[in-house]
Amino acid sequence: MGSFSIWHILLFAIVLLLVFGGNRFSSMMSDVAKGLKSFKQGMADEDDEKQRRYEEQRRYDEQHRAEPPRQIPRDEPIDVTPRREDPVAPPPPARDDEPR
């Protein structure tokens, strides 16, 4: 009880064929198959794109690893202290609603 047997499934399939008709049902199934096919093709295209980007990145990394690192000329020490453009900022103007 409560489970479908093969007879229930066959009866349901026959009712579906009668309601939708054989031609309409087969066209719906062909549309589903086309959708699955295009989905698989899209996934394969995405995998190809990922593989191509991976290969390009690998070649780029190999080229830059082969190059010697650039040397920075050390004629004078590097000054990293922040510079202020305005040494003393003027006070903000007084507002009208504040008591003086």
What is the domain partition of the chain in residue ranges?
A: 6-64
Q: Rounded to whole angstroms, how far apart are CA atoms 90 and 42?
A: 63
Amino acid at 99: P
Q: Rounded to whole angstroms, how far apart are CA atoms 100 and 85?
A: 31
* CB-CB contact of 16 with 25 (8 Å): yes
Residue 40 has pLDDT above 80, yes or no: yes
Cα four-point dihedral sign 14, 10, 7, 5: negative
Highest-confidence segment of 39-43, 66-70, 95-99? 39-43
Q: Would you place residue 14 in the very low, low, confident or very high pLDDT band (cuts 50, 70, 90)?
A: confident
Q: What is the pLDDT of residue 92?
A: 75
For range 14-40, the mean pLDDT: 84
Q: Rounded to whole angstroms, how far apart are CA atoms 39 and 45?
A: 10
Cα four-point dihedral sign 75, 77, 80, 82: negative
Q: What is the pTM of this model?
A: 0.35
Question: Cα-flanking dihedrals φ and ψ of residue 61, to 5°?
Answer: -65, -40
